[in-house]
């Protein structure tokens, strides 16, 4: 049986959303690696393919349903203190899930399974919201969720889907192809910097387990017990945290991810890093809230809520009316002027080429990132020990404000 690379789209643009697998009438498409070190991309079995081009004509990288322009920008957070504390930013996603279930919706989110793989799950149970909450900085598999959601919509059920913009686009294209796209489904997309192949986090976990002679059964990328805004990565064995590192304390995975070195190749060519949004609502951290107009709160545990449609506006209004969230209209420039991912994809770091070469040679994530980033690791350790980061962040924030004012004064 012969395999060729599926020419649905340029392989450097394939996000592995998996929509092509579902629509193929011949079941000829799979997600495969060309070799051990590559990302999963769509491949076709040329003996099964009948060249109907259904995959090509529905791929979100080739054809997109009309996207939405941002209408309003809000700062917000859950008024439930525990929900806000556990959320990646302000707990707005969790409040959306709670509202959806209380109004008869099914909810789709991403949870980590017992192999630390991120997978989409559809549920109507409140207790799954804890599994959906918080960030997952790795590739998440859509799997058969397309069909499951399609079946629910056929039955007249309502859906809330929260995912990455490329995943929202894939689902929208699938539902349009099946003639099921309607207002019974609410789409929420997340401002995304990139997603990393799951093999890296799995190798990193194995490395730590061997080092500490432990067996992890829980992973948190932003553990709320140490405040989610500190980005504290933890591994636990039976609720006992045996490994924890803040974002600036040289955890090899956090270095690779937050420096943009280990993303899927398509992330550096992302067509969704723009102000035209796929979701009715867009959620993000609100790091620069208060940069244009004074607010009486800081940026910790604050969500940026971008409203992109009337449907999205109505949903947020329901949360406000139910006293579920605090929500304040903010100048849209507070997000647009500082969030690069609303303008262009993550730039490919110069270290990426070296990392890929090292990883191809060693097939060892931690060893590869250490060799490539050793000087950066030393610098960050020194900055953290000397408590320089608060000063650096203060200078950075004020420099950005001054540069914006200077540009305006020159016009």
| Shared-domain flag, residues 77 and 143 | yes
| Shared-domain flag, residues 109 and 188 | yes
The pLDDT of residue 278 is 96
The pLDDT of residue 70 is 97
| Shared-domain flag, residues 394 and 377 | yes
Given a cut of 80, whether residue 377 has pLDDT beyond it is no
In degrees to the nearest 10, what's the CA dihedral of 70, 75, 81, 86?
50
| Shared-domain flag, residues 38 and 94 | no
Query: 342, 363, 385 — which closes off a domain?
Result: 342
Domain hosting 251: range is 198-261+350-404
For the purposes of burial, counting CB atoms within 10 Å of the CB of 108, is it exposed (0-12), middle (13-18) or buried (19 or more)?
buried
| CA–CA distance, 273 with 340 (Å, rounded to integer) | 8
Percent of the chain with pLDDT over 90: 79
369 occurs within a structural domain: yes
* pLDDT band at 7; cut points 50, 70, 90: confident
The pLDDT of residue 67 is 87
| CA–CA distance, 97 with 91 (Å, rounded to integer) | 10
Q: What's the CATH number where 12 sits? A: 3.30.70
How is residue 225 written in tokens? Answer: 């017990």
368 occurs within a structural domain: yes
| Shared-domain flag, residues 220 and 332 | no
Phi/psi of residue 271, each to 5°? -85, -5
Q: What is the mean pLDDT of residues 102-115?
A: 96
How much is the mean pLDDT over the chain?
A: 90
| Shared-domain flag, residues 176 and 44 | no
Given a cut of 60, whether residue 297 has pLDDT beyond it is yes
Query: 313, 342, 371 — which closes off a domain?
Result: 342
286 occurs within a structural domain: yes
| Shared-domain flag, residues 307 and 369 | no
373 occurs within a structural domain: yes
Task: Quickly tell me which residue has 């525990």 as its tokens.
Answer: 82
How is residue 177 written in tokens? Answer: 């192809």
Given a cut of 50, whether residue 107 has pLDDT beyond it is yes
Q: What is the mean pLDDT of residues 153-162?
A: 98
Given a cut of 80, whether residue 397 has pLDDT beyond it is no
| CA–CA distance, 355 with 295 (Å, rounded to integer) | 42
| Shared-domain flag, residues 371 and 244 | yes
The pLDDT of residue 36 is 59
65 occurs within a structural domain: no
Mean pLDDT check: name the lowest of 28-42, 202-216, 246-260, 342-356: 28-42
Alpha-carbon distances of 279 from 32, 185, 231, 304, rounded to whole Å: 28, 10, 26, 14
| Shared-domain flag, residues 239 and 271 | no
| CA–CA distance, 353 with 363 (Å, rounded to integer) | 15
The pLDDT of residue 246 is 85
In tens, the pLDDT along 187-243 reads: 999 999 999 999 999 999 999 999 999 999 999 999 999 999 889 999 999 999 999
Mean pLDDT check: name the lowest of 254-258, 278-282, 302-306: 254-258
Q: Which residues of 211-226 are buried (b: 16+ CB within 10 A; e: fewer)?
A: eeebebebbbbbbbeb
How is residue 215 written in tokens? Answer: 């067996």
| CA–CA distance, 90 with 346 (Å, rounded to integer) | 24
The pLDDT of residue 131 is 93
Q: What is the mean pLDDT of residues 122-141?
A: 93
Domain count, the chain: 3
313 occurs within a structural domain: yes
The pLDDT of residue 408 is 58
Query: 12, 29, 58 — which closes off a domain?
Result: 58
| Shared-domain flag, residues 175 and 308 | yes
| CA–CA distance, 10 with 13 (Å, rounded to integer) | 5
The pLDDT of residue 5 is 47
Q: What is the mean pLDDT of residues 20-44?
A: 86
63 occurs within a structural domain: no
Q: What is the mean pLDDT of residues 256-283?
A: 96
| Shared-domain flag, residues 91 and 163 | yes
| Shared-domain flag, residues 168 and 83 | yes
64 occurs within a structural domain: no
């Amino acid at each position: 049986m012969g395999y060729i690379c599926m020419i649905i789209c340029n392989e450097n643009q394939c996000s592995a959303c998996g929509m092509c697998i579902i629509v193929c009438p011949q079941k000829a498409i799979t997600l495969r690696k060309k070799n051990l070190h590559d990302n999963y991309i769509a491949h076709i079995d040329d003996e099964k393919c009948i060249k109907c081009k259904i995959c090509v004509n529905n791929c979100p990288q080739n054809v997109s349903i009309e996207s939405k322009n941002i209408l309003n920008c809000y700062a917000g957070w859950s008024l439930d203190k525990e929900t806000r504390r556990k959320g990646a930013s302000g707990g707005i996603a969790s409040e959306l899930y709670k509202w959806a279930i209380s109004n008869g919706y099914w909810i789709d989110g991403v949870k980590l399974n017992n192999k630390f793989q991120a997978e989409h799950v559809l549920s109507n149970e409140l207790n799954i919201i804890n599994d959906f909450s918080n960030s997952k900085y790795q590739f998440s598999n859509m799997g058969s969720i397309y069909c499951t959601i399609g079946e629910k919509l056929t039955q007249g059920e309502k859906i809330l889907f929260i995912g990455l913009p490329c995943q929202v686009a894939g689902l929208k294209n699938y539902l349009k192809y099946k003639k099921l796209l309607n207002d019974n489904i609410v789409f929420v997309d997340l401002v995304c910097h990139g997603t990393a192949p799951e093999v890296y986090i799995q190798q990193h976990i194995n490395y730590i387990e061997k080092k500490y002679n432990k067996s992890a059964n829980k992973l948190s990328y932003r553990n709320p017990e140490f405040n989610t805004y500190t980005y504290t990565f933890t591994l636990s064995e039976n609720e006992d945290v045996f490994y924890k590192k803040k974002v600036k304390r040289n955890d090899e995975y956090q270095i690779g991810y937050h420096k943009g070195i280990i993303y899927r190749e398509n992330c550096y060519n992302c067509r969704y890093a723009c102000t035209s949004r796929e979701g009715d609502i867009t959620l993000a951290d609100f790091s620069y809230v208060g940069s244009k107009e004074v607010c009486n709160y800081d940026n910790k545990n604050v969500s940026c809520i971008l409203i992109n449609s009337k449907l999205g506006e109505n949903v947020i209004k329901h949360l406000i009316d139910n006293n579920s969230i605090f929500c304040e209209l903010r100048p849209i420039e507070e997000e647009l002027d500082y969030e690069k991912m609303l303008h262009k994809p993550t730039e490919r770091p110069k270290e990426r080429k070296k990392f890929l070469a090292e990883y191809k040679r060693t097939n060892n994530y931690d060893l590869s990132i250490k060799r490539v980033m050793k000087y950066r690791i030393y610098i960050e350790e020194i900055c953290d020990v000397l408590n320089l980061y608060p000063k650096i962040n203060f200078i950075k924030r004020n420099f950005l404000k001054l540069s914006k004012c200077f540009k305006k004064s020159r016009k």
